[in-house]
Structure 1
Amino acid sequence: MKTRSILLGILTVVTGLVWGGQSLTVQAKMTNDQILQTAPKGVTIGNYFSTGNISGNAAKISSTDFGARQAVNLTTDANQAGVIWASDDARMNLNEDQTASMWMYFGDGRKTSSAGDGMAFVLQNDPNGVNAIAKNADGTPASGQSIGVWGTDSRTDMTQPLDTTAIAKLAIQNSWAVEFDTVANQDVSSKTTDANAVSRLKQGPVSAFDWAMDGQHIASGFPWESRTYASQKASETTTTTSGPWYNPTTTTTTTNYYYPSMNHLGKITPGTGTSMFTFLDAGWWRHVTLHWDSSTDTMTYSYNDQVPKAGEEATTATSSTDAASKTYTQSVKINPADDLGVGADGLVRWGFVGSTGSSTAAIENNIVVFDQVPGLVNGNATATLTDTSQSDKVIDDPSDTVNSGDRLSLNYNLKYTSGRESWKDIVAKLNLPTNIVFKNATIKYANGDTDTISDLDTSSSKGQSLSKSLENLNNKQDGSNAPNATADITLNGVAIAGDNDTTTVKETHSSFEGSNALMHTTVSAFNVKKVNGSMTMALTGQITYGPGSTAMANSDITLHPQMNGVNLPTKTLSDSDAAGKFSYTIPASSIISGLTDGNQFVMYATDKNGINSANDVGYTITLKDGTLDLMVNPTGTFNVDHPKNLTGSAMSFPADSNWDVRVKDTRGAGSTWTLTAKADPVSSPTAGLLDGDIVYEGANGDQQSLTTGAAVIATHTADSDSDEVNVTSGWDSTHGIQLETNAGAISGSYQTTVYWAFENVPATE
């Protein structure tokens, strides 16, 4: 019995594709104009580019939503080659450091079977100048695996030995290129068997430059040098039989087939998995920076060194663990004279080439938007976050941790190094990290000018976005403007913990957008650890009511403090203190070091009847470098050095010789401190509370109890940058800490704990 089946139809609705663990949104392919609408902001491209007189050159300057002449469009359709070169006046000078920074779009291979073929940044001194492009044997511009820069194989008979010199002669001459290759050209690969390779080679020239590569990649090399190309071989062995059947002759023949591969330098690949095929062309604008170090003749290229920008609003963002979201960097050596034919003037032409393959399903839109145009403005922007509470520790890794209350300094440094123009019309667009309360933002220029950022919210720890216009930067006289090569934006603040013991602060990205150069920088992610306990500073004072006013109880009076214009926690007075007597502990996290005019502390009082104090109490608090250290012997005794028995009357026992209290002050001459001490009640496990007290007796005979409040032990002003005072020096039977007993004191072994503290601001009434 035969079973006959009829396939009537299958309707599949695809809303998404999960490939290799990454969710991708599948949509209709965008047009070139739609892609340009998603482009990041770039600098306006001046009249320093030329498309030359190259037959079929597809390159053009295009507009984006940010205005005209914002993008270089190399290809928009199948079977295209596009090339654009800098004019003579815009050539790079390799005798100086140079930077090229740009956003690049390679198409969206998720919407097609495969993109192809990519584009390349090229340095060249080809005799053809702005008409330079790689050629086929017939002189037409080369596309496909050549990408318009590498040489081509002109043979038609693949059994002819390969001539790598002949291939190199069809490339752009006196050149170096870094390619962004969106398809691995592997008609024949290192994994192909000879039999399969021969079958393909019998059909003619193959596309196998990426013979040993896996997937999309970035790599560099010297297109015009024969060493860039290698000859690969596949062999076919055939056996034939001839002659009479009774005496046959067997002949074995081996035929070799030759094809070229390319030697890739400075390779960047994502590894295996989905990203092999979407490393470049995943519908994203990818950022690329090339930096030439003239002192070492080294070109460094970095891929994905800024956060990728979506090529379409609905695209699913790449995961932070995806290979295509990491930054990749490689460096290669280039000898300007030998490798590029550069003369003593150091000048070399630069530009972009790109090409597409024959498949209309794999059309690749190769587009470039510049942040920095080589030679126009060269410079850099950096961000450095420093924890000054941890010996100026630089916070530059997501694993770094600061403590709540730590003083942090965030510096953005802009540096102009060289160029044909000053860096003009710069606007700093700062995105500040969360969990830091920034108290001030100052700007200092190389020419001595200073400025501030006025829209800083000095009470917010939620992260802020600030915008500030800056002065033009240059390193030589520019009209009436003196050299002004750097700008430093410095923000000082305090780390603020979140609700958890440790809070992770996300990285932030800022930009500096000029009319002729855009630069970016990043503050690393880091952690803020909640710290129990803090160093504090206390102020004391007295509130009094004037004639005709009804004095309130202490618990009806509230203090309202501010530091540098920021409200601090209020405090209600305690009824256990004397009427109107107050003290306020200033949070150490509110005090900033390095302020020119010091920290401005202001406080006023209100009562429950709504009466405000007629005056504000104000202080200027300045933190100096250095430390104030207290060194105390952990154990001190009375009545051990020279023991005396109780007599039934009042007695006094001076501190024994083991009391040792020293203060070391390295904050500098003129710094002051006040040392206080208070103690728990003196008691014995068997005899109970002592009928007596522990007191401090000054030189004038005045006594202060340590058990009823903090007694002032010593006040001192440093007379050197490294000042040390022995507080207990000179204590005797009538001066220093004493144990006083009354007539009812009972013999026994008694204990107490003494608490030492600094007050390094003067007390006031």
Structure 2
Amino acid sequence: MFDKEVDLMKKRIGFLYLIIFLLPFIQLFKPTMVQAYSVPDRTSVYEHAPKGMKLNDFVTAPEYYTNTKTNDTTAFKSSSKIIRAGDSNNDSTDIIQLLDGSSTQKKQIGSFWGTVKDSNGNKTYNYFDLSKPQEISVWFYGGSKVDGYDGFAFVLQNDDLGDQAISRSNGVPTAGETLGVWGGGTPDNKTTTTKLSGASDGIQKSVAIEFDHYVNKTAGSFSNSVNDYLDYDKFSMSNPGNIVMNQLKTGHIAWNYPGDTATYMENSYSLILNNYFYNITHRGPVQNNSYFTGYDGLEVANSETQDPRNGWRHLKITYTPPTTGTTARLSYLINDKFPDGTDKMQTAQDSKTFSIDISKLIGTSDDKKVRWGFTASTGSPESSIDDLDMVIEKMPSIVDMKGTSQITDVTKNSSKTLGSTKELSTSDGDEIKLEQKLAYSGGISESGEIKATVGLPENVEYNGDANGVIGKMTYQDEDGTTKTQEINKSDLKDVTITIPGKYETDPPSYKTVKGFDVTIPSMNAIGDNSNIEVYGTVKGPESSTPITTSVSGVNTSYQADNYTGDTMSPDFVIDNEVLHIENTNSLSQELNLGDEAHFQGNISYLKGSTFDGEELLSNLEVYDQDGNKLSGVQKGDIQVDKGVKTGTYDIPYTLNGLEADKTYTFKLKLSDSKDRISNTLEYKVKIKPKKNLQLEVDNYRFQTINAGSKIGEYVKRSGNWDIDVNSTGTKWKLSAQSTGLFNKEDSSYSEPLYFIDKDLNAKSLNDDTLIAQQDTVNSGESQNTDVTDAWSEEDGILLKNEFPNLAGDYTGKIEWTLSETI
């Protein structure tokens, strides 16, 4: 046992020597951080703060922290306070100060929490419900110094101390490396003779995401009993799980359970003197080199002053409850947008998602309501006094509203929603529709009247209709009642938007675009929603050669007493190349029903592009002569060889289901693989009148020839002689031919047939003889003509008694010929 202790002591002494010899070396070459540019003062920063929620009594910021050992309720003055809009040096929005850069107090701790309990102690207010999806977003200003405060933490906690929960050491509130949430620190940054036992000194029953500026890795030693070691991560573990090792760097983001003693590792440089210092096990995935202090990451010339707007950084926390069990997901997204809502480039953003065990907060309790809030501190040897302020954009239980946006190319019937990776390609002259939707999805409060400031994308003309109307705002409440407000071209004004720099270290620039303000009624029930829609016409830059113009999305901001938010319109591109078709056969055709019409022409690009070898799509619509579109659209594929500048098309259409003697308009347009839509050609096709020609004849009789009848007389017709011609859309003629009537018993006896016209001229039917004709065209309904209606007893087809015939029955055949005439 004694030998073992000696060995341990040797290891500790060796460690001490290493520190002694290295420290001068490190100190000698430690770089001096110089801030050459000028920075705005805090008043200017407050004046340019992003708009946030009115805090009312939704949050609580302790004025003092209690010494839980002595019950001294004013043991430590908190650096946090709420600065209301209209207070001294702040006219913009409600701000929460967590750390005070104007104070002379080196060690500072600040915190604020959602106000969870009402006056009766019931959890009915601004809590965090672990059973539901939740979102919190804030803007924070991290001061103006390069060597700034230690850091801050987002915390979910169920500590019995409530809003008095903070880092402590033996009951004393502890600043510096603890960030106000971790245990293991000491008030004087010295090693302690007291071990962590049972509960840690961190916030109990909690989970925290830390945003830590420094890597506190200074170990205690005989010559320097410092306790500044919480970020040491070079240990070895046989089963580390998601505990990170050898990863932490400046500006790191990690997480763990501050109230869990397993989070902390005990260290001592003397087993005899019991000098303890601790490091915490950071859980990953870890993010390093993140920007959350001062104006880090923005390079301006030495003679310039940083823009106070750039000091504000955005942070969003998203929570997803367990589907089963106790494993939930907690995510953060930091530095994702500028104060006006414009997205920052992806390289500037940091985000991670963690799996957390909510039983660490609530055990097996069915009460899943916990506190949410932020803690912060400064005072470690590395840090300095600086500001940390927050503006709350969204709280989880007050008002939950969802904003979405969409842009639609009405001409091409193609849309893109915000967040989609799809490219929306438009062309000059396309009509587009921009929509910004907002919906109430829950909360304990109404939003208050909402002022929406809508920025409009460039390269679009907003001329409106004959009355100058370019769009409308439609509000609908939960019971379906709607309210509409028109948006007129005269409402347009200049709206300032942010233009991200080329690189993430470049400060943004600003410019004005067209936009407008519109007021949306207050929302207070699930189902309340609004939609702002604006129409315009795409207008790309002038160019005689093919170019593609990218149009960035523009922000729409919403500002109400209890809600602030924004949505970006989706970006899109303008392709100035024009697909063009030109007919090579006649634009006017006259065909019969059932015929196949052909629409033929050439295809090319007006800016000179070559075809890509992909199939083009034809779109053929048919309209009647009154301009009514017929149902159905004929589509087809057209192949044009890759690399050529001109192609051809030949589109057939069978003329069925149309009406005769009417003219139809066929509207043809083509589209290519990039959704370019050609000009529209109109082909006129007249359907020739419908023709129908039918003859209905029967068996006919003549009167009986009596003995003694005179030779050469005409025998009259007997019975009904209907000879019907049915015709539509045509002239006609009817002729007849017959060899006469023959005796059934002796065919050598016969009588001839004659046609007698109105002038009593007789023509033998031995030859094909014209009986009747119609010289006019009936293009309407079918017409029935009974040829015999025009006959009298003296004319028409008669039988001539030319021979003295034997008594008997005589029969014969008449061949009728009905034909169309020109």
Q: Same fold (TM over 0.5)?
A: yes
Sort the Cα spacing of 1:457 and 1:533 in 2 relative to 1 into closer, same or farther, 3 A. Answer: farther
The 2-side partners of 1:146 and 1:170 are apart by: 10
1:73 aligns with 97
Sort the Cα spacing of 1:174 and 1:117 in 2 relative to 1 into closer, same or farther, 3 A. Answer: same
- The answer on 1:495 being equivalent to 2:545 is no
* TM superposition score normalised by structure 2: 0.53
Question: SS where residue 35 of structure 1 aligns?
Answer: helix
2:174 aligns with 142
User: Number of paired residues?
Assistant: 509
- The answer on 1:442 being equivalent to 2:472 is yes
The match for 2:376 among 354, 362, 374 is 354
The match for 1:527 among 573, 581, 586 is 573
Asked if the contact 1:270/1:279 (under 8 Å) is kept, the reply is no
Matching of residues 550-589 of structure 1 within 5 Å: none
Asked if the contact 1:158/1:259 (under 8 Å) is kept, the reply is no
Sort the Cα spacing of 1:116 and 1:622 in 2 relative to 1 into closer, same or farther, 3 A. Answer: farther
The 1-side partners of 2:434 and 2:485 are apart by: 14
The 1-side partners of 2:627 and 2:388 are apart by: 59
Question: SS where residue 224 of structure 1 aligns?
Answer: coil
Q: CA deviation at 1:516?
A: 0.6
Q: CA deviation at 1:208?
A: 3.6
Asked if the contact 2:49/2:93 (under 8 Å) is kept, the reply is no
Asked if the contact 2:141/2:294 (under 8 Å) is kept, the reply is no
The 2-side partners of 1:665 and 1:497 are apart by: 43
The match for 2:210 among 153, 160, 179 is 179
Q: CA deviation at 1:68?
A: 8.0
Sort the Cα spacing of 1:626 and 1:261 in 2 relative to 1 into closer, same or farther, 3 A. Answer: farther
**Greater C-alpha radius of gyration:** 2
Letter in 2 for 1:45: L
Q: CA deviation at 1:230?
A: 4.0
Q: CA deviation at 1:331?
A: 2.0
Sort the Cα spacing of 1:623 and 1:276 in 2 relative to 1 into closer, same or farther, 3 A. Answer: farther
Task: Please tell me the root mean square deviation across aligned C-alpha atoms, in Å.
Answer: 5.0
Question: SS where residue 36 of structure 1 aligns?
Answer: helix
Asked if the contact 1:426/1:471 (under 8 Å) is kept, the reply is yes
2:155 aligns with 122
Residues 389-411 of structure 1 deviation map (CA, whole Å, 9 limit, x = unaligned): 26445575788351314443322
Letter in 2 for 1:145: E
Letter in 2 for 1:27: S
Sort the Cα spacing of 1:319 and 1:411 in 2 relative to 1 into closer, same or farther, 3 A. Answer: closer
1:553 aligns with none
1:557 aligns with none
Q: CA deviation at 1:98?
A: 2.3
Letter in 2 for 1:146: T
1:131 aligns with 164
1:675 aligns with 666
The match for 1:486 among 508, 514, 529 is 529
The 2-side partners of 1:220 and 1:632 are apart by: 59
Which structure 2 segments of 5+ residues have no match? Answer: 1-30, 66-75, 118-124, 234-246, 300-305, 465-469, 495-511, 584-625, 641-649, 658-662, 669-680, 689-730, 732-822
The 1-side partners of 2:667 and 2:189 are apart by: 98
2:329 aligns with 298
- The answer on 1:217 being equivalent to 2:217 is no
The 2-side partners of 1:165 and 1:406 are apart by: 71
The match for 1:95 among 105, 122, 131 is 131
Q: CA deviation at 1:467?
A: 0.9
Matching of residues 487-636 of structure 1 within 5 Å: 487-500=530-543, 501-533=547-579, 627=633, 629=635
Sort the Cα spacing of 1:159 and 1:266 in 2 relative to 1 into closer, same or farther, 3 A. Answer: same
* TM superposition score normalised by structure 1: 0.56
2:314 aligns with 287
2:143 aligns with 107
Matching of residues 141-540 of structure 1 within 5 Å: 141-153=173-185, 169-187=200-218, 203-209=225-231, 211=233, 212-230=247-265, 259-270=278-289, 278=297, 284-294=311-321, 296=323, 297-308=328-339, 323=347, 326-341=348-363, 343-357=365-379, 362-387=384-409, 389=412, 391-394=414-417, 396=419, 400-404=423-427, 405-438=429-462, 439=464, 440-444=470-474, 445=476, 447-456=480-489, 463-475=513-525, 484-500=527-543, 501-533=547-579
- The answer on 1:86 being equivalent to 2:122 is no
Residues 226-277 of structure 1 deviation map (CA, whole Å, 9 limit, x = unaligned): 33334579999xxxxxxxxxxxxxxxxxx999741431335333479x9996
Sort the Cα spacing of 1:157 and 1:101 in 2 relative to 1 into closer, same or farther, 3 A. Answer: closer
Sort the Cα spacing of 1:346 and 1:531 in 2 relative to 1 into closer, same or farther, 3 A. Answer: same
Q: CA deviation at 1:338?
A: 3.6
Asked if the contact 2:214/2:382 (under 8 Å) is kept, the reply is no
Sort the Cα spacing of 1:631 and 1:146 in 2 relative to 1 into closer, same or farther, 3 A. Answer: closer
Letter in 1 for 2:368: G
Residues 570-598 of structure 1 deviation map (CA, whole Å, 9 limit, x = unaligned): xxxxxxxxxxxxxxxxxxxxxxxxxxxxx
The 1-side partners of 2:166 and 2:667 are apart by: 83
The 1-side partners of 2:432 and 2:337 are apart by: 24
Letter in 2 for 1:286: R
The 1-side partners of 2:229 and 2:296 are apart by: 18
Residues 628-648 of structure 1 deviation map (CA, whole Å, 9 limit, x = unaligned): 5489999xxxxxxxxxxxxxx
Asked if the contact 1:143/1:357 (under 8 Å) is kept, the reply is yes
1:191 aligns with none
Sort the Cα spacing of 1:51 and 1:521 in 2 relative to 1 into closer, same or farther, 3 A. Answer: same
Residues 278-315 of structure 1 deviation map (CA, whole Å, 9 limit, x = unaligned): 599996101112222336532222112221579xxxxx
Sort the Cα spacing of 1:121 and 1:160 in 2 relative to 1 into closer, same or farther, 3 A. Answer: closer
The 2-side partners of 1:230 and 1:204 are apart by: 16
Sort the Cα spacing of 1:319 and 1:152 in 2 relative to 1 into closer, same or farther, 3 A. Answer: same
The 2-side partners of 1:536 and 1:341 are apart by: 76
Matching of residues 659-698 of structure 1 within 5 Å: 661-662=652-653, 674-675=665-666
Q: CA deviation at 1:46?
A: 0.8
Residues 531-550 of structure 1 deviation map (CA, whole Å, 9 limit, x = unaligned): 2246899xxxxxxxxxxxxx
Q: CA deviation at 1:512?
A: 1.0
- The answer on 1:60 being equivalent to 2:87 is no
Asked if the contact 1:630/1:662 (under 8 Å) is kept, the reply is no
The 1-side partners of 2:387 and 2:355 are apart by: 31
Question: SS where residue 187 of structure 1 aligns?
Answer: coil
Q: CA deviation at 1:515?
A: 1.1
Letter in 2 for 1:532: V
Question: SS where residue 362 of structure 1 aligns?
Answer: coil
The 2-side partners of 1:664 and 1:464 are apart by: 50
Residues 413-437 of structure 1 deviation map (CA, whole Å, 9 limit, x = unaligned): 2122211112221111111111233
Letter in 1 for 2:127: R
- The answer on 1:46 being equivalent to 2:46 is no
2:72 aligns with none
Letter in 1 for 2:426: N
Asked if the contact 1:84/1:353 (under 8 Å) is kept, the reply is yes
Asked if the contact 2:440/2:529 (under 8 Å) is kept, the reply is yes
Asked if the contact 2:206/2:360 (under 8 Å) is kept, the reply is no
Letter in 2 for 1:118: G
Which structure 1 segments of 5+ residues have no match? Answer: 1-18, 189-196, 237-254, 311-317, 477-483, 538-619, 635-658, 667-671, 678-708, 717-733, 735-765
The 1-side partners of 2:430 and 2:148 are apart by: 51
Letter in 2 for 1:56: K
The 1-side partners of 2:639 and 2:298 are apart by: 65
The 1-side partners of 2:492 and 2:60 are apart by: 53
